[in-house]
Amino acid sequence: MKKIHKSYDGLNMNDENFNKELNFALQSINGSSDYQNDRERPYNGQPHTDHGKRGKTIVQGLTMRDIFDCFVMGYLEASGNSDKVRENKWRYNDVYNKSEFDIDPIAVGQRMMCNIEKMMKIFPNLPDEVPSVEELIDHWSEEK
């Protein structure tokens, strides 16, 4: 186990940084953190995410430019410019246009992954155990 940069005395609920420390501790368990980003970590997240079964998918048939295109499209979609992407009217320089949105870097990555799946013609790449939209709607209707 890698040594953490400071000594760890446990969590104190009275500490003003309790929530931050708790979140870091929970995210660090068998997941990605500042201390554990090795390629051999388990894919034990929710199945439909990049940390679950969906994340195990091998990228095939794409060039590095294709993947960079997916990054730009993901960035534009996460910044409120989905129409440009949907209409295929985007350009690399569009990432420099001011956006009225705060851009969430994780949303950029998630959108990028979806665009990679679209280029690979496997979107949506969802494991079998993920409920369909119809199943979710039925479930929510039954609860009401």
Percent of the chain with pLDDT over 90: 44
Please state, rounded to an integer, the average pLDDT across all residues of the chain: 82
How far is 26 from 22, CA to CA, in rounded Å? Answer: 6
Percent of the chain with pLDDT over 70: 77
Q: Residue 107: what pLDDT? A: 94
Mean pLDDT of 61-79: 96
DSSP labels, 71-98: HHHHHHHHTT-HHHHHTT---GGGGGS-
Is 4 a residue whose pLDDT tops 60?
no
